[in-house]
């Protein structure tokens, strides 16, 4: 009885991270419906080839507004990651290329610079910026769910790999979420302390054209 009372009044916790795998391999059956903890295992036996992802071998195009090319090795592209709580991304930076401020709601990140020089940082929940120049061979950590960014601060192209602690970490661009999600102009005006005419100009690049 005392145990039941203690459990009833003990603080509850919510697990926002990927669950631990229950077996060595569970290559995802991507034809099945995604569940809370990942995909069902495919019924055919896995092979060594299932555990090799070749998507990061080829540079991604940086011919876009941000000067950034990205290839994501998440479970949908790399089914062997199913239940492993891991994913990876290749990031190619043109000169001045930028990964805009964004979050991964379900993952912490290790950012490893392979070529070039990257200025990167994250913002804590008390709005403190931690930023540093990350050179070739160096790694920076970004805590789960915090807003962070990376920009090419060198005089040439740059290359980095990002390892994340979730098979499906999520990717939410801050500007797109704020200005392209349909939040009423009045709310944005009060939030940003600007007039609605300024809000309209800020929203223009993020609102889909009809």
CATH of the domain at 157: 2.60.120.10
Instruction: State yes or no: pLDDT of 35 exceeds 80.
Output: no
pLDDT of residue 25: 85
Among residues 75, 99, 78, which one has the least CA distance to residue 170?
A: 75
Do 159 and 197 lie in one domain? The reply is no
Instruction: State yes or no: pLDDT of 3 exceeds 80.
Output: no
Do 96 and 169 lie in one domain? The reply is yes
Q: How far apart are CA 81 and CA 28, in angstroms?
A: 8
Give the model's confidence band at 24: pLDDT under 50 very low, under 70 low, under 90 confident, else very high.
confident
Do 192 and 114 lie in one domain? The reply is no
Mean pLDDT of 83-99: 96
How do residues 37-86 score in pLDDT, each as one tens digit?
688 898 899 999 999 999 999 999 999 999 999 999 999 999 999 989 99
Do 75 and 129 lie in one domain? The reply is yes
Predicted model pTM: 0.84
Do 157 and 113 lie in one domain? The reply is yes
Instruction: State yes or no: pLDDT of 7 exceeds 50.
Output: no
Whether 96 and 157 have beta carbons less than 8 Å apart is answered as no
Number of domains in the chain: 2
pLDDT of residue 14: 41
Please report, rounded to a whole number, the percentage of residues in the chain having pLDDT higher than 90.
76
In order of 18, 50, 145, 207, the CA distances from 106 in angstroms are: 8, 24, 6, 26
Give the model's confidence band at 31: pLDDT under 50 very low, under 70 low, under 90 confident, else very high.
confident
Whether 88 and 113 have beta carbons less than 8 Å apart is answered as no
Do 158 and 184 lie in one domain? The reply is no
Q: Which residues are annotated as a binding site for Mn(2+)?
A: 102, 104, 109, 148
Q: How far apart are CA 24 and CA 21, in angstroms?
A: 7
Q: How far apart are CA 163 and CA 110, in angstroms?
A: 5
Whether 72 and 91 have beta carbons less than 8 Å apart is answered as no
CB burial of 5-36 (b: ≥16 within 10 Å; e: otherwise) equals: eeeeeeeeeeeeebeeeeeeebbbeeeeeeee
Q: Which residues are annotated as a binding site for oxalate?
A: 104, 109
Instruction: State yes or no: pLDDT of 11 exceeds 60.
Output: no
Whether 52 is covered by a domain: the verdict is no
Question: Containing domain of residue 185, as a range?
Answer: 180-210
Q: Which residues are annotated as a binding site?
A: 102, 104, 109, 148
């Amino acid at each position: 009885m005392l145990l039941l009372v203690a459990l009833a009044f003990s603080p509850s916790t919510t697990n926002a991270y990927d669950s631990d795998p229950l077996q060595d391999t569970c290559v995802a059956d991507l034809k099945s419906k995604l569940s809370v903890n990942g995909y069902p295992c495919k019924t055919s036996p896995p092979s060594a080839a299932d555990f090799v992802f070749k998507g990061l071998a080829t540079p991604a195009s940086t011919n876009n507004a941000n000067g950034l090319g990205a290839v994501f090795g998440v479970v949908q592209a790399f089914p062997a990651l199913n239940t492993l709580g891991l994913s990876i991304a290749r990031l190619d930076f043109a000169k001045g290329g930028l990964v805009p401020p964004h979050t991964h709601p379900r993952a912490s990140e290790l950012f490893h610079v392979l070529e070039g020089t990257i200025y990167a940082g994250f913002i804590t929940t008390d709005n403190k910026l931690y930023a540093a120049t990350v050179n070739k061979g160096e790694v920076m950590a970004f805590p789960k769910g915090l807003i962070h960014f990376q920009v090419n601060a060198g005089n040439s192209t740059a290359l980095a790999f990002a390892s994340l602690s979730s098979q499906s970490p999520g990717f939410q661009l801050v500007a797109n979420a704020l200005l392209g999600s349909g939040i009423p102009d009045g709310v944005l005006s009060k939030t940003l302390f600007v007039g609605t005419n300024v809000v309209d100009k800020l929203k223009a690049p993020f609102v889909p054209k009809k």
